[in-house]
Amino acid sequence: MNAKAIPRHVSDVVPFMDNGTNRWQLLARVAGAGLLAATGAIHLDLYLTGYRTIPTIGWLFLLQVISAFVLAAGVLATKSRLVAISGALFALSTLGGYLLSLWIGLFNFKEVYTTAGVAAGVIEVATFAVLATVALVPPDRAAGAQRRFSVERVLVGVASRAGAVAAASIVAAALLGTALATAGSTAAAATSGRTELETATIHGATVLTNAKGFTLYYFVPDEPTMSRCYGSCAAYWPPVTGHPVAEPGVTGQIGTITRTAGSLQAVYDGHPLYTYIGDAARGQANGNALALNGGYWYEVTASGSLSKVSTPTSQAPAIATTASRPA
């Protein structure tokens, strides 16, 4: 009787496992699709709020947005393990690109530490973990005689695959944490000393640049004695810090203001100065006439006059010397 009871017991267990696997697969696919959609939404926001102007990086962000939403729909609408693993690999490759951009830069662009970037990285790790598990755990219809022959073998196989996914996810999370810690400490370090202001002709206009030849910008909402660009805004538009020194051709009035962290920001003709992370090389002005982070941004002309594309509301304030931002 014992010899017959064991196969009957195994046969009873397998349908129970099949029902549980079906429910788990459905919930995991819904979660994976939601995570992919969230990744796409974050990249869409980043694309619309500035990354679209960055050469090469702009259209890559748009491609990521489209791919994320297409894969999300595919994961939700099908039971294909190929679609699930494609979504997992997409999340992993997007995370890898973000980490490389933080560490060494991609296509002459180096990523900066932002809350949106952190959120996207965490979501991408979770997306990989969920969809990789969906793809690697066999569905119920693949059970067949072999799974009925040995429930224990199935459980061991599932556990080993889930363990591999968990290990890869932990490694990805550790790499993300290391990259963010490094980027955060780098962003927190304020420069001091002097900063040279030079001029260059870009698109027919003589504009202000730093010593490396990168175009300098002003933010319309700023005041002569106060910057309104902090947090993620300052990550995308790094303030020009230090005491400004006018090189030949720079004829405007220079000064400084004190930012909340205590660093000095250079001011030119009443405009606190910034660079733009979308400029990958000297001679570029990808940040000119952009409406981002709560206001318009324009290149600073050497004469101190407004940019040719400035709006009537962009009035040049009076020059400020050293001043502090009120609490």
Question: Tens digits of per-residue pLDDT, 61-80?
Answer: 999 999 999 999 999 999 89
Split into its structural domains, the chain has a count of: 2
- 216 touches 273 (CB < 8 A): yes
> Are residues 123 and 229 both part of a single domain?
no
> Are residues 218 and 257 both part of a single domain?
yes
> Are residues 239 and 176 both part of a single domain?
no
Residue 248 sits in which domain range? 194-299
Would the pLDDT of 272 be above 80? yes
pLDDT in tens, 99-148: 998 888 888 888 887 888 889 999 999 999 999 999 887 665 444 444 44
| DSSP conformational letter for 201 | E
- 208 lies in some domain: yes
> Are residues 159 and 283 both part of a single domain?
no
Domain boundary (151, 167, 188) is at: 188
As a whole number of angstroms, the distance between CA 15 and CA 232 comes to 52
> Are residues 170 and 63 both part of a single domain?
yes
| DSSP conformational letter for 140 | G
> Are residues 182 and 98 both part of a single domain?
yes
The better pLDDT of the pair 215, 166 is held by: 215
- 6 lies in some domain: yes
As a whole number of angstroms, the distance between CA 326 and CA 42 comes to 33
Task: Kindly report the number of other CB atoms within 10 A of residue 191's CB atom.
Answer: 13
- 130 lies in some domain: yes
> Are residues 115 and 146 both part of a single domain?
yes
- Tokens linked to 227: 């910057």
> Are residues 10 and 71 both part of a single domain?
yes
Enter the pTM of the model.
Answer: 0.71
